[in-house]
Every structure is written in structure tokens, then in C-alpha cells.
């Protein structure tokens, strides 16, 4: 009994050492094995993403992915410890894809045209969401599994928010924002801290209007992607643009 325990501990210890050694040399040596592993990992996520786009998050099954790869299902677990980990990877990828779409859309507008940048960013979000409804549902819909680890997703999920903050910051510094007459309740003063860092110098009243516009935009996109506008609104892109123009006015973005 004791010797068995000792053996186990020894084994675990040697594994730990091996893992440490592996970590220390990982960056230096790009062995063929590591390359094929990275390649297979990418192939798994690609297939999973494709299946996600057709079946939806609920229908994504590890076994189906394995089958499509010509692998046996247990082999997948060498690459992803669980189905939720695969989903988390897909979520992070989704955040990055959306963030990139927004960044590119916004970057296409002239820097001084703050209203144009806002509208471009909004359409960037909407167009991507409409084109990738299931991926969008994964990142901005109801949380699917028990609960995905939010820690890993933080760096990727703020990319779109950063774009908005940049627009508001630039517009404010350029004097292109009319400050609202009404102030935000003092109670909210500490809550704006994180946002204040993204938009230095911008008064809280403007920040809160930006938050309102932000949630309004995602509210619209949610409604549209999740089918709430079916059989009601046909010209959705136009209606969305008009709605976002209204929100620009609410934010005090000068025409």
C-alpha cells in the first residue's frame, strides 16, 4: 500500500518535472510533433466551428467532430480535455472575429468623421452577427454550458468596447460631443471607473450615454439575430442604421 502510494507520488513527480522541462523548452524547439499537434488542434476547431454554424451550439458533439476527422472519439480528448473547453476556445475565437470585424469596419471611416465611425462600427457588429448567427449566439446569447470560464475571454471580449471608447474619446477631444443636460446619479460614480480609463477626460454623463448606446446596439442585434423581428421588419439594415443614428443623437454626437 505504502510502496504503491510512493510509486504513484514518484511517477507524478517525474511527470511534473517532464512538464516543466517541456515548458522551458517549448518556445525554442518547434518539433514536427508539436507542429502536427497544432495543425490537428486547428483542424478540430475548424470542423467544430463549421458544425456550430450549421447545427448550433446545442448540436455540437465531440463525437461528430471526431467522426468527421476520421478519428475515434477518445482521441479528441488528447487535444481538448472536455466539450466545454472546445466551446470556450470557440467563444474566444468568436470574440476575436467579431472584434476584428468591428475594428476593420471602423478603421475604414475618416478619423474626423466621428458619426461615420460610430455608424461603421455598429454596422460592423451587425453585419458580422447576421453572417455568423450561431457564433454570435455563442458569445452574446444565453450562456450555454454549466458556465464557461470568463477569465480567459476577457482580453478578447473588450475589443469592440475599445473601438467605441476610442470614437467617443476622439469626438469629445475634438469638441464634437454635446454634453447632456442631465447628470448621472452620484451613486453610479464608482461604477464608471473602468470605463473612465478607456475614455480619459470624458465626463461621466457622456460615458453613461455611450453605455446606453452600446447596449441599445447589441439589443437590436440580439433581436434581429434571434428572430424577434421576423415577419415584422423587412429592411433591417436600414432600420438598424436609422436606430443607430438616433442613438448617436442621444450620445450628443454632432451631425
Among 53, 64, 69, 239, binds its own copies (CB under 8 A): 239
Query: Choosing among DNA, its own copies, none, which partner's interface includes residue 40 (Cβ < 5 to 8 Å by kind)?
Result: DNA
Residue 205 near residue 183, CB atoms below 8 Å: yes
Write down the least CB distance from residue 87 to its own copies, Å. 11
81 contacts its own copies (rule: CB under 8 A): no
The crossing angle, in degrees rounded to 10, of helices 204-225 and 159-173 is 140
Residue 179 contact, options DNA, its own copies, none, Cβ 5-8 Å cut-off depending on partner type: none
Identify the CA nearest to 174 among candidates 227, 113, 88, 225.
113
Q: Indicate the residue among 57 and 158 with the shorter CB distance to DNA.
A: 57
Min dist. Cβ of residue 117 to its own copies (A):
19
Torsion sign over Cα 183, 189, 192, 197: positive
Residues near 237 by Cβ (< 8 Å), separated by ≥ 6?
Answer: 123, 126
Partner that binds at residue 29, options its own copies, DNA, none, CB closer than 5 to 8 Å by kind: DNA
Radius of gyration (Cα) for the chain, nearest Å?
23
Cα–Cα distance measured from residue 244 to residue 53, given in angstroms and rounded to the nearest whole number: 27
Residue from the set 60, 163, 208, 253 that interacts with its own copies by CB under 8 A: 208
234 binds, among its own copies, DNA, none (CB under 5 to 8 A by kind): its own copies
CA distances from 180 to 141, 150, 156, 205 (A): 32, 34, 31, 7
- Count Cβ atoms within 10 A of the Cβ of residue 144 and give its class: 0-12 exposed, 13-18 middle, 19 or more buried: middle
Q: How far is the CB of 223 from its own copies (least distance, A)?
A: 5
Alpha-carbon gap, residue 207 to 219, rounded angstroms: 18
Interface contacts to DNA, rule CB under 7 A: 14, 18, 22, 29, 31-33, 36-37, 40, 60-64, 70-75, 77-79, 81-84
Interface contacts to its own copies, rule CB under 8 A: 56-59, 137-138, 140-146, 150, 180, 182, 184-185, 187-188, 190-191, 194-195, 208-209, 211-212, 215-220, 222-223, 226-228, 230, 232-235, 238-239, 242-243, 245-247, 249-250
Amino acid at each position: 500500500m505504502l510502496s504503491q502510494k510512493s510509486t504513484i507520488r514518484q511517477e507524478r513527480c517525474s511527470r511534473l518535472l517532464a512538464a516543466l522541462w517541456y515548458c522551458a523548452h517549448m518556445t525554442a524547439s518547434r518539433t514536427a510533433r508539436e507542429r502536427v499537434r497544432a495543425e490537428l488542434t486547428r483542424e478540430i476547431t475548424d470542423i467544430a466551428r463549421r458544425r456550430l454554424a450549421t447545427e448550433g451550439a446545442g448540436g455540437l458533439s465531440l463525437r461528430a467532430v471526431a467522426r468527421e476527422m476520421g478519428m475515434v472519439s477518445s482521441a479528441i480528448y488528447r487535444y481538448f480535455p472536455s466539450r466545454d473547453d472546445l466551446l470556450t476556445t470557440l467563444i474566444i475565437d468568436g470574440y476575436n472575429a467579431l472584434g476584428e470585424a468591428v475594428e476593420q469596419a471602423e478603421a475604414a471611416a475618416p478619423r474626423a468623421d466621428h458619426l461615420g465611425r460610430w455608424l461603421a462600427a455598429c454596422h460592423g457588429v451587425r453585419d458580422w452577427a447576421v453572417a455568423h448567427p450561431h457564433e454570435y449566439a455563442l458569445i452574446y446569447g444565453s450562456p450555454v454550458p454549466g458556465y464557461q470560464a470568463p477569465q480567459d475571454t476577457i482580453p478578447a471580449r473588450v475589443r469592440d468596447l475599445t473601438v467605441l471608447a476610442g470614437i467617443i474619446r476622439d469626438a469629445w477631444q475634438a469638441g464634437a460631443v454635446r454634453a447632456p443636460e442631465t447628470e448621472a446619479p452620484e451613486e453610479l460614480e464608482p461604477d464608471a471607473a473602468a470605463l473612465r480609463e478607456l475614455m480619459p477626460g470624458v465626463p461621466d454623463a457622456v460615458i453613461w450615454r455611450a453605455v446606453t448606446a452600446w447596449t441599445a446596439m447589441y439589443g437590436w442585434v440580439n433581436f434581429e439575430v434571434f428572430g424577434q423581428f421576423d415577419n415584422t421588419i423587412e429592411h433591417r439594415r436600414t432600420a438598424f442604421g436609422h436606430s443607430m443614428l438616433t442613438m448617436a443623437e442621444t450620445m450628443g454626437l454632432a451631425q
